[in-house]
Structure 1
Amino acid sequence: MTKPVVGFIGVGLMGHGMARNIQSAGYPLVVVAHRNRTGVEDLIERGATEASSIAELASQCEVIQICVSGSPQVEAAIRGDGGIATNAAPGSVVIDSSTSNPVSTLQLAEELAERDIPLVDAPLGRTPKEALAGTLDTMVGADDATFARVEPILTCWAGNIVRLGPVGAGHKMKLIMNFISMGYAALYAEALTISRKAGLSVEQFDAVIGSSRMANGFYETFMKWSLERDETAHRFSIANAHKDMRYLTALALDVGAVNPVQSAVRNSFAAMEAVGQGEKYVPMLADFIAAGSGLTEEE
């Protein structure tokens, strides 16, 4: 059986590994230019075709996977004369693996449905390391028939696939998941600062917390920066964290949920981005919070 041609928009830190695994599974792959050419060039060397525009990609592909930074970028890829909605054939399917605003996702799903193009939301859990290994987590919103169509592609890059319900459910769950993980980050950063101010070292902090029931996978990658200065362990930017927390605030307001803790978490990332440190990675929040209490890296 001939495999469908897959188009991939957004071959960055996460998308490159995902696209590579789709390609390795035997799917013909079409990519479009990304601001960082490294991933594009690697995929072309492995046999992918490069489209000159999203319109060209959409016209060639039966399945279009999007992995970009947020809803504005997804909307730009889908809408307009040069977008997917106008140029993809009826019966094509779009998979959005970005961390997007569910309100936008549902609007886009309605617009694409008018052209007989179903939208699947399949946002991601874990890191670029797992993207390359093909062991990401994904939480999926799709109807039965569409999920059956895309599941073989999802299995190329995901080790854990949880279907939650109709379109939009995946993006809602992803925001809640990121609230928990970014809440960990804000909590760890503040706890580390208090510990250091109280005369306890980062190593002492880790010796107790890292061997306790409070340790987890997020803790391990977060602490690699404070312990080892390993900036590659958790490559998720402050700007993206802040964006996700803004989306969750909007979701909380939309559903009428109170969110005092989430507001405090959001403000930790807002403050760091406001002073021009948005491109730093989330574990570096520990240094930012420490600096606010007068600590330097050496102390």
Structure 2
Amino acid sequence: GPVGAGHAVKIVNNMLVASHLLTMSEAVRLGNAAGVTTENLIAALNAGSGRSAISEVNYPKWVMNGAFDSGFTMGLMRKDVRLAMALAKDKSVAMPVSELAGQIWAASEELLSDNADFNRITECDPTHKGAKS
């Protein structure tokens, strides 16, 4: 593609990852509230159409076991989310769902340091007033 296309693809990809982490954490909270274990929920989602890299990789490898050592930080993800929001504004592309995700990621700065693993966003409570345990 044209100059800058690779950069655009990277931030679009990371915007999706940022959004998927948030929606997956909501799905886990809902499933748990309905009595489904996280392990069973992940297995069912991964066998169905709701699967994503977040359910297939991030949750099993870094979230469910509490490792949180993916090598990608909250600060880096926040930066990429901000860049995606700026690109959308610059290109006049409406992204209401991603905009809400961007607001949640920005608000997480009060709870999670820039050096924390980006998967820790899944530990924030739904109102983002605090991180779980």
Tell me, what secondary structure is at the counterpart of 1:258?
Answer: coil
Give the aligned partner of residue 285 of structure 1.
121
Tell me, what secondary structure is at the counterpart of 1:228?
Answer: coil
The answer (yes or no) to whether the contact 1:175–1:244 under 8 Å persists in 2 is yes
How many aligned residue pairs are there? 132
Q: Aligned pair in 2 of structure 1 residues 289, 244: CA closer, same or farther (>3 Å)?
A: same
The answer (yes or no) to whether the contact 1:237–1:278 under 8 Å persists in 2 is yes
Report the residue type matching 2:30 in the other structure: I
Give the aligned partner of residue 22 of structure 1.
none
Query: What is the distance in 2 between the residues matched to 1:229 and 1:215?
Result: 20
Q: CA offset at residue 196 of structure 1?
A: 2.3
The answer (yes or no) to whether the contact 2:82–2:102 under 8 Å persists in 1 is yes
Report the residue type matching 2:26 in the other structure: E
Q: Does 1:178 align with 2:4?
A: no
Give the aligned partner of residue 35 of structure 1.
none
Query: What is the distance in 1 between the residues matched to 2:106 and 2:90?
Result: 21
- Greater helix fraction, Structure 1 or Structure 2: 2
Report the residue type matching 2:34 in the other structure: A
Q: Does 1:227 align with 2:64?
A: yes
Report the RMSD for the aligned CA atoms in angstroms. Answer: 2.5
Q: Note the 1:141-160 alignment, pairs <5 A.
A: none
Give the aligned partner of residue 102 of structure 2.
266
The answer (yes or no) to whether the contact 2:24–2:54 under 8 Å persists in 1 is no
Give the aligned partner of residue 254 of structure 1.
90
Q: CA offset at residue 211 of structure 1?
A: 2.3
From 17, 25, 34, the equivalent of 1:198 is 34
TM-score by length of 2: 0.82
Q: Aligned pair in 2 of structure 1 residues 196, 293: CA closer, same or farther (>3 Å)?
A: farther
The answer (yes or no) to whether the contact 2:74–2:117 under 8 Å persists in 1 is yes
Larger deviation: 263-272 or 206-215?
Answer: 206-215
Give the aligned partner of residue 169 of structure 1.
5
Q: CA offset at residue 215 of structure 1?
A: 2.3
Tell me, what secondary structure is at the counterpart of 2:64?
Answer: helix
Query: What is the distance in 1 between the residues matched to 2:38 and 2:126?
Result: 12
Report the residue type matching 2:56 in the other structure: E
Q: CA offset at residue 227 of structure 1?
A: 2.1
The answer (yes or no) to whether the contact 1:179–1:262 under 8 Å persists in 2 is yes
Q: Which consecutive residues of structure 2, in runs of 5 or more, have no partner in the other structure?
A: none
Tell me, what secondary structure is at the counterpart of 2:125?
Answer: helix
Q: CA offset at residue 263 of structure 1?
A: 0.9
The answer (yes or no) to whether the contact 1:192–1:205 under 8 Å persists in 2 is yes
Bigger relative contact order (CA 8 A; separation at least 6): 2
Q: CA offset at residue 231 of structure 1?
A: 2.2
Q: Aligned pair in 2 of structure 1 residues 226, 202: CA closer, same or farther (>3 Å)?
A: farther
Q: What do the CA deviations read for 1:122-171 (whole angstroms, capped 9, x no partner)?
A: xxxxxxxxxxxxxxxxxxxxxxxxxxxxxxxxxxxxxxxxxxx2221111
TM-score by length of 1: 0.40
Query: What is the distance in 2 between the residues matched to 1:285 and 1:226?
Result: 10
Tell me, what secondary structure is at the counterpart of 2:121?
Answer: helix
The answer (yes or no) to whether the contact 1:237–1:280 under 8 Å persists in 2 is yes
Q: CA offset at residue 292 of structure 1?
A: 4.8
